[in-house]
Chains A and B, each alone.
Chain A
Amino acid sequence: DAKTTQPNSMESNEEEPVHLPCNHSTISGTDYIHWYRQLPSQGPEYVIHGLTSNVNNRMASLAIAEDRKSSTLILHRATLRDAAVYYCILRLANAGGTSYGKLTFGQGTILTVHP
């Protein structure tokens, strides 16, 4: 499986934007980039995903480099509730085989938000 690399931790102040980077230099053309986050004492929750184009939803934006070897999750205005571990995951898009649809989590980035 293609691997992702994220910083161990990042800090932000409340109501400021946060840019969480992810490197995935071995990404294949059929890998989707997914982001999940895990709030304290909860299961992971989906944040956003994309393939090639930048994506926006109500939670965040995903900026994908032109060569797809890196991406950035953008929280436009961090709140205390955004303090969590953020995981960048590559998910194989092609049907068939045992790797299809698997979500393999790395260590993620621990985001601390200061009041």
Chain B
Amino acid sequence: DAGVIQSPRHEVTEMGQEVTLRCKPISGHNSLFWYRQTMMRGLELLIYFNNNVPIDDSGMPEDRFSAKMPNASFSTLKIQPSEPRDSAVYFCASRPPRDRGNTEAFFGQGTRLTVV
């Protein structure tokens, strides 16, 4: 398996534009996480899906952020409109079902977002 795949790897956009980050989890995994990492705030959990259903979105900073998981193999994180303070590295992670015994989460390489 190629691991968790995120696209794009880098994104530079102008303030006010819509940004969509994409994630393909590892096949067979049923949990998916979106994180944001900045120097000031570290790694923050934004939202957590289980079986394509959002379980906890309490970390989503505001209404400008939205996340979807239309099927088990794809998720998006959208920011509309984007602001300079959204600049960060965004990570997606997936984890297999609990009954498979392995509980480790696998992270993608991240998307570095710069909003100018």
B55, A43: Cβ atoms closer than 8 Å: no
B107, A95: Cβ atoms closer than 8 Å: no
Number of A residues contacting the other chain (C-beta, 8 Å)?
A: 24
* Number of A-B residue pairs at CB separation under 8 A: 56
Instruction: Provide the bound-state CA to CA distance between A4 and B33, in Å.
Output: 20
* Residues of B contacting A: mostly: strand
Q: Which of A42, A44, A101 contacts B43 (CB 8 A)?
A: A44
Instruction: Provide the bound-state CA to CA distance between A10 and B45, in Å.
Output: 25
Listed by A's residue number, 10 A-B pairs whose Cβ atoms lie within 8 Å are A43-B107, A43-B110, A44-B43, A45-B107, A46-B105, A87-B43, A91-B103, A101-B50, A103-B45, A105-B42
Which residues on A are within 8 Å of B, measured CB to CB?
32, 34, 36, 38, 42-46, 49, 87, 91, 95, 98-108
